[in-house]
């Protein structure tokens, strides 16, 4: 009755799926279609909405449906994703309002019925042969989703994309356990184009020959906790790739790598986390950065760079990474973050997390002779234009003073990795927190950074987990230089008393000479975790700062009261 659809091109999976969708739409336009009252625009909108709203849930239910029916029929032999696309179209093409409702799959009811041959299976035999004989369609292999043995067979010699993750939701029992899956796909490593493993590997030596691989992501979720709570020690697991592949993405977490047989000249994303054995040497890391001119993302976190304390030049030659958008340097060996910041030139940075810098270089930040001058040229505009409040925090347990724009890695990136918001987290090692906070405040004021500011006087981690010390760690007098502070929190009694003492007294501005109250924009004062703060302390502060609400006359100058703050304090610490 209708001419059979043209077979899809065997080049890409997307073209095959598009051809399948066109075939189904041709059938749907037939007079016997149950949705003849719908316009074509409505049909397309319904299709797109269904694909986005129920696709993830439907993938899981389709796996169960495939295993409940005769696998000899062609439709149940298709890869999971293509089978799901057919199932979505069948739901939309059904005359049942209940089955066509998008939210129908939000609850864990019985799986949907199989597609009916009278509607969706009336595609030409030639088209089905093309689907079944297109190797690229079968090359996207996921553990626990499809029959990987059949996918390996049907994919012929097409490049493979492999994923095996213990994080993936699996509602049905996989046809093979993880060890069997890895053994089978390992025999086809020469065809790997992408490999993504998120498993508990344990101490072992892995080796494969993968000359075609471009995307490598391995997370070893096995870990051992030492005597100190929260102390992380990655297992001794090293991966060796033969064949000199040209990688575009390299992400390793808890697993090392043999760095001798890799081509990283075209790498765009390099992420190394929690690596002891199998970490790169400083020399190999520098050579990689020199040749990787297109690098867009660099992450180094808890990596024991080999010989990191030797061979560093006092005035190293700069490395220009003009495409770098995201930089994360955290918990590196002493002095390494300082060295990398002085070396790397990345004017296009949008997202950065840099810890363990030297505090002394925050002074004279506007000088061309400052070793961090090029870094500050990128950092300061991000701090100045932050869409959220800056947070100044001191964590005593980490000896770290940080300045953070907030949620740098969560809201700073899309799921596909694109940077959408400029964010920064700057951390410096400190010995004397009182002088360190003053230097950080001078850094803010000297660069005219007037973004709304949140003060965590005793940090966020310490406030939740550590016992309350008796020595002060926050100089309250710096609050007189910070008129944009909107929130202050503390966990140490002596710091809390110093803060409310300063906030309850009138200060004279050093620049203007006018009298007023410190932090006039303050909205929240959070002392809920301060042990020993009595109601008398709180009432004395409220009386001093707000009184009866009327202005004061100080040396012939009228001083208005600031707006009332939300004062959070716990009555249970009364002594």
Q: How far apart are CA 450 and CA 484, in angstroms?
A: 6
- CB atoms < 10 A from the CB of 168, how many? 13
- Buried-exposed string 368-407: b where 16+ CB fall within 10 A, e elsewhere: eebbbebbbebbbebbeebeebbbbbbbbebebbbbbbbe
According to DSSP, the β-strands at 232-233 and 249-253 are: unpaired
**Distances, alpha carbon 141 to alpha carbons 81, 145, 311, 425, in Å:** 10, 8, 45, 38
At 344, give phi and psi (nearest 5°). -75, 135
The fraction of the chain above a pLDDT of 90, given in percent, is 37
Q: Side by side, which strands form the sheet with 237-242?
A: 204-209, 237-242, 256-257
Q: Using pLDDT thresholds of 50, 70 and 90, give the confidence band for residue 212.
A: very high
Please name the residue that has the structure tokens 């029959």. Answer: 147
**Distances, alpha carbon 158 to alpha carbons 13, 15, 139, 379, in Å:** 12, 16, 7, 45
Question: Which tens digit of pLDDT belongs to each residue from 544-575?
Answer: 999 888 888 877 788 889 999 999 886 554 43
More confident position, 11 or 63: 63
Mean pLDDT for 381-396 is 86
Q: What is the DSSP letter of 263?
A: B
Q: Please answer whether residues 332 and 361 qualify as being in contact, where contact means their C-beta atoms are separated by less than 8 angstroms.
A: no
Q: How far apart are CA 553 and CA 355, in angstroms?
A: 47
Q: Which residues lie below 8 Å from residue 470, measured CB to CB, with a gap of 6+?
A: 492, 493, 494
Q: How far apart are CA 138 and CA 153, in angstroms?
A: 9
Q: Using pLDDT thresholds of 50, 70 and 90, give the confidence band for residue 70.
A: low
- Buried-exposed string 497-531: b where 16+ CB fall within 10 A, e elsewhere: bbbbebbbeebeeeeeeeebbbbeebeebbbebbe
Q: How far apart are CA 62 and CA 79, in angstroms?
A: 11
Q: How far apart are CA 42 and CA 39, in angstroms?
A: 5
pLDDT of residue 235: 65
157: helix, strand or coil? coil
Does the pLDDT at position 401 exceed 50? yes
DSSP 405-440: -S-TTTTSB-TTS-B-S-EEEEEEE-S-HHHHHHHH
Polymer length of the chain: 575
- Rounded to 10 degrees, the C-alpha dihedral 503/507/511/514 comes to 120
- CB atoms < 10 A from the CB of 304, how many? 17
Mean pLDDT for 344-357 is 94
At 368, give phi and psi (nearest 5°). -70, -20
Q: How far apart are CA 91 and CA 85, in angstroms?
A: 10
Question: Which tens digit of pLDDT belongs to each residue from 122-138?
Answer: 444 444 555 566 787 78
Q: Using pLDDT thresholds of 50, 70 and 90, give the confidence band for residue 63.
A: low
Q: What is the DSSP letter of 103?
A: G
Does the pLDDT at position 230 exceed 90? no
Mean pLDDT for 169-178 is 61
Q: Please answer whether residues 223 and 189 qualify as being in contact, where contact means their C-beta atoms are separated by less than 8 angstroms.
A: no
Q: How far apart are CA 105 and CA 85, in angstroms?
A: 15
pLDDT of residue 170: 59
Range from 195-204, 304-313, 349-358, 524-533 that averages highest in pLDDT: 349-358
Sign of the torsion formed by the C-alpha atoms of 232, 235, 236 and 237 = negative
116: helix, strand or coil? coil
DSSP 189-258: GGGEEEEEEEE---SEEEEEE-TT--EEEEEE---EE-SSTT-EE---EEEEEES--B-SEEEEES-EE-
Question: Which tens digit of pLDDT belongs to each residue from 429-462?
Answer: 998 999 999 999 999 999 999 889 999 998 876 5
Q: How far apart are CA 87 and CA 349, in angstroms?
A: 44
Does the pLDDT at position 336 exceed 70? yes
Q: How far apart are CA 140 and CA 156, in angstroms?
A: 12
Q: Please answer whether residues 306 and 277 qualify as being in contact, where contact means their C-beta atoms are separated by less than 8 angstroms.
A: no
More confident position, 249 or 176: 249
Mean pLDDT for 252-273 is 91
pLDDT of residue 270: 97
Mean pLDDT for 27-49 is 46
Q: Using pLDDT thresholds of 50, 70 and 90, give the confidence band for residue 399.
A: confident
392: nearest Cα among 330, 458, 328: 458
According to DSSP, the β-strands at 319-320 and 269-275 are: unpaired
Q: Which residues lie below 8 Å from residue 306, measured CB to CB, with a gap of 6+?
A: 279, 280, 281, 282
352: helix, strand or coil? strand
pLDDT of residue 290: 93
Q: Which residues lie below 8 Å from residue 561, measured CB to CB, with a gap of 6+?
A: 517, 545, 546, 547, 549, 550, 551, 552
Q: Please answer whether residues 237 and 206 qualify as being in contact, where contact means their C-beta atoms are separated by less than 8 angstroms.
A: yes
């Amino acid at each position: 009755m209708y001419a059979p659809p043209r077979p899809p091109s065997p080049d890409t999976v997307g073209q095959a799926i598009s051809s399948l969708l066109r075939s189904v739409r041709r059938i749907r336009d037939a007079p016997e279609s149950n949705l003849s009252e719908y316009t074509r625009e409505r049909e397309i909108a319904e299709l797109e909405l269904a694909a986005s709203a129920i696709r993830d849930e439907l993938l899981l239910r389709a796996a169960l449906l495939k295993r409940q029916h005769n696998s000899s029929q062609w439709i149940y032999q298709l890869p999971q994703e293509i089978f799901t696309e057919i199932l979505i179209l069948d739901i939309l093409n059904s005359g049942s309002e209940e089955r066509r409702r998008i939210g129908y799959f939000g609850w864990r009811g019985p799986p949907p019925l199989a597609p009916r041959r009278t509607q969706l299976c009336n595609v030409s035999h030639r088209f089905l042969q093309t689907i079944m004989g297109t190797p690229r369609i079968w090359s996207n292999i996921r553990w626990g989703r499809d029959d990987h043995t059949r996918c390996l067979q049907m994919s012929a010699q097409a490049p493979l994309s492999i994923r095996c993750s213990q994080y993936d939701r699996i509602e049905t029992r996989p046809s093979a356990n993880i060890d069997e899956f890895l053994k089978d796909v390992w025999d086809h490593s020469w065809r790997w184009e992408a490999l993504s493993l998120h498993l508990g590997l344990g101490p072992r030596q892995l080796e494969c020959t993968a000359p075609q691989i471009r995307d490598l992501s391995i997370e070893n979720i096995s870990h051992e906790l030492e005597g100190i709570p929260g102390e992380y020690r990655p297992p001794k697991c090293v991966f060796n790739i033969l064949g000199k592949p040209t990688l575009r993405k390299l992400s390793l977490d808890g697993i090392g790598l043999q760095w001798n047989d890799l081509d990283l000249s075209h790498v765009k994303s390099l992420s190394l986390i929690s690596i002891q054995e199998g970490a790169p040497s400083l020399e190999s890391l520098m050579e990689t950065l020199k040749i990787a001119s297109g690098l867009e993302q660099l992450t180094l976190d808890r990596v024991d760079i080999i010989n990191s304390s030797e061979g560093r030049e006092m005035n190293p030659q700069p490395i220009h990474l003009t495409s770098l958008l995201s930089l994360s340097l955290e918990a590196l060996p002493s002095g390494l973050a300082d060295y990398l910041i002085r070396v790397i030139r990345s004017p296009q940075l949008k997202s950065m997390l840099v810890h363990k810098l030297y505090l002394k270089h925050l002074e004279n930040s506007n000088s061309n002779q400052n070793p961090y001058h090029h870094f500050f040229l990128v950092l300061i505009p991000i701090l100045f234009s932050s869409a959220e409040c800056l947070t100044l925090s001191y964590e005593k347990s980490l000896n770290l003073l940080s300045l953070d724009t907030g949620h740098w890695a969560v809201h700073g990136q899309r799921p596909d990795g694109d940077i959408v918001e400029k964010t920064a987290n700057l951390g410096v090692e400190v010995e004397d927190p009182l002088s360190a906070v003053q230097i950080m405040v001078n850094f803010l004021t000297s660069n005219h950074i007037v973004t709304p500011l949140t003060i965590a006087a005793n940090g966020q981690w310490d406030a939740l987990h550590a016992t309350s010390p008796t020595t002060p760690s926050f100089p309250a007098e710096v609050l007189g230089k910070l008129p944009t502070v909107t929130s202050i929190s503390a966990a140490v009694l002596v710091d809390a008393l110093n803060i409310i003492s300063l906030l309850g007294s009138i200060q004279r501005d050093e620049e203007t000479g006018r009298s007023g109250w410190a932090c006039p924009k303050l909205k929240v004062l959070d002392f809920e975790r301060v042990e020993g703060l009595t109601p008398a302390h709180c009432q004395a502060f409220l009386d001093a700062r707000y009184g009866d609400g009327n202005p004061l006359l100080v040396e012939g100058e009228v001083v208005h009261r600031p707006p009332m703050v939300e004062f959070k304090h716990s009555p249970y610490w009364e002594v």
